[in-house]
Structure formats: C-alpha cells, structure tokens
Amino acid sequence: MSDSEPDEELLDLLRQSLGINGNTLSKAPDTKVLKDAEYVYDNSIDVALDTHGTKAAAAKIWDLMQEKGYSFKKWSEHTLHPKEKDESTVNFIFLMDLLNFCFWSENPDPTQCYSVEYRGQIFTGYWSLVAAIRRALDECIPITTPSFWLSESECTDDLLKHIFRSSTSDTIPLIDQRIHCIREAGRIIDADFSGSVIQLVNNANRSAAALVNLLTTHFPCFNDVAVLDDKIIHFHKRAQIFIADLWACFEGQAYGSFHDIGTITMFADYRIPQMLHSLGCLRYSPSLEHRIRGLKEVESGCRWEVQLRGCSIWCVELIRREIVRQHPKAEVNPILIDFFLYDTMRERVKERVEMIPHHRTKSIWY
C-alpha cells in the first residue's frame, strides 16, 4: 500500500468508534454526464472550444438574460406549455420528454416539413409535439395517461399515428420508434412504479441526479449513452430535460423541488451546438464542418457526434463558470443557459439569420 492510499482497516475502526456503519454514509447520486463531457472535450479532435469566444459568449448571454429578465418563469409563458401545477402536468411533461427527439426533416421544402395545426396556428419542431399532445387532449384522448398506453385495443398504433398527424404530407420522424417508447414506458411505469409517474418522481427523494438515474436504469429509451475510446459516455438528454421541465414548470416547488438541481447539465441535442458555433464558442475540423454544411447525416454514436454533444455540454458548463466568476451572486445554471440558447436559436431561425446548419442525426436520444 502506498502512502497516498487510505488504510481501510483503520477507517473501519474509526467508523465503528463513531457508531457509523458502512451503509450510513452513501455517496450522492452522480449522473456522470458532466465528468464524461469533460473527458470528451479533453480527447476531442474534430470539435474545439474557443476560449475567447466562450468568455465573450458568457458576457453576452448574461447581459441578454438580465435585459430580458430571463428566468425559469419563461417556461410557463410559452403558449403550449401546461399552466396547471398538478399531477396531470407531471404526466404531460413525462410524455412530452419521452418523445422529445428528432424533429428535423429531409424535405428540402420547409413549408412541407412535419408540422401540427392547433387552434389556428402551425407549429414545427419541438412545438409540433407539444401541440399534438394538446390537440389529442382537446379531442378527449387520454394520451398523457400511462395506463392508456398499455391498452393496444384502445390505444392502437393507428390512433397514435392519428394523434401525431401532420398538417402537411410529411409524417413525424421515427413514428415507429415513438410508438415503441410509449408502449415500453407504459409497461415499466405499470410494473415498477404502480402505474404512477408521480411515484417515479417521489422515489428520487427530491434528488435531480437520483431521478435521472432512475429513468436511465429502468427505461431503456432514456439510457442515452455512447462509446468513445472504449469508454462509456453518458449524455442522458431526455432524462435530464424531464427534471429541468419539472423544475421550471413548478418553479422549484412541489414536484419541481430538487436539492441538487445544479447537477443537471445542458441537454446535448442538435440545436445548441449550432448556437454555440454561431456565437464563436465551438470550432469544427474541416471534414466535420464540410459534412454539416453539406447537410449530410452524422451517424448516431459516431465519433463526430459524440464530440459535438460532449463538447457542447462542457462549453455550457464553462459559460456558466465564467458568468459566476464575473457575477458571483448570479443565480444561473446550465438549464437556464440551455433554455435561453434554445429560445434565442428559434428567434434566429425565424429571422433567417445566416449560420451553420445544425448537424443531422436520426436518433431517439434527441
């Protein structure tokens, strides 16, 4: 044993003298996402972080957040997000984040991409999903009720396809995978959590990290991992965003109360890397940039994609640290930065601001 290694026998004696057994002190839950993102950054070849760009972006983001009074209250201000603070909203958010993946279309005509008409408005992207859920509830289809997902006689595949119908000739991407996620989640909630999403949330004992781990352990469709250099890399985008949406919707209270909300990272998808690149935070190798600008698909789990996701998580963490360094009293976490960047990204798309396209990956993970 080296001088730096602890003497386990002496530690056991000390614990006994203090009346502490081996199970009394347990480690805090760890999602491993941030640690793995740093590993990806340290070993990245095709995606790099620009230090000056990241610091400049941190200053700009903070100034804009202050100017707009940006906080988690913005979540409920979105027209389609639920306003009620009850159990039905927890179910709504669970389904929303269960299916919160892959909204981009290969259709070159943006007017013909998948979209949902709801109450006289057309919604695309993530908002098309939320609109479809809203529309189904208005049609008295109990789509947010997990027990409904179990009944293939009532909740048929054809009904699910009808629920997510498009206002164009395009269909929602990966519809078969979405149906599989719904069926699988229904079975697991029924078997492991007495048919209740509320029980799933309560089992985490107000720990955000514990809830992420519950989701990724019990539900295969939430276990968002990849491999880089024979090392498993944890991303857990949709599991993390479920916690973030609960936190924002319930404003840190009731079902949104988590004592370790700061353990949640940015949500590694395809929009935030695009925004970070446009802000001068991320730089790509010529081969990767050529692929993205050429609108060529980046395969899920390939080295390019892992680097894009991992470096984006680490970049947002560095932005957060820089904001706190400049403003020690700032109450900011990766969730707020992610939400702000996503909302800003949507504004830029509407304004047709020129920027690099988002990378194209077909995946249930984001």
* One-letter identity of residue 283: R
SS3 159: helix
* Calpha distance 138→143 (Å, rounded): 10
Distance CA 302, CA 308 (A): 10
Q: Is 147 exposed, middle or buried (0-12, 13-18, 19+ CB in 10 A)?
A: middle
Produce one character per residue of 213-250: b if its CB has 16 or more CB atoms within 10 Å, e if not.
bbbbebbebbbbebebeeeebbbbbbbbbbbbbbbbbb
Site of tokens 């690149």: 277
| Cα–Cα distance, 50 to 350 (Å, whole number) | 27
Q: Report d(CA 269, CA 263) in Å as an integer.
A: 18
From 36, 97, 224, 269, the catalytic residue: 269
Please give the DSSP secondary-structure letter assigned to residue 112.
G
Give just the sign of the alpha carbon dihedral 129, 131, 132, 134.
positive
Q: Is 269 a catalytic residue?
A: yes
- On whether the CB atoms of residues 298 and 292 are closer than 8 A, the answer is yes
Taking a C-beta distance cutoff of 8 angstroms, is the pair 45, 307 a contact?
yes
Kindly state the DSSP code that residue 84 receives in the 8-state scheme.
-
Q: Could you give the residue numbers annotated as active site?
A: 269
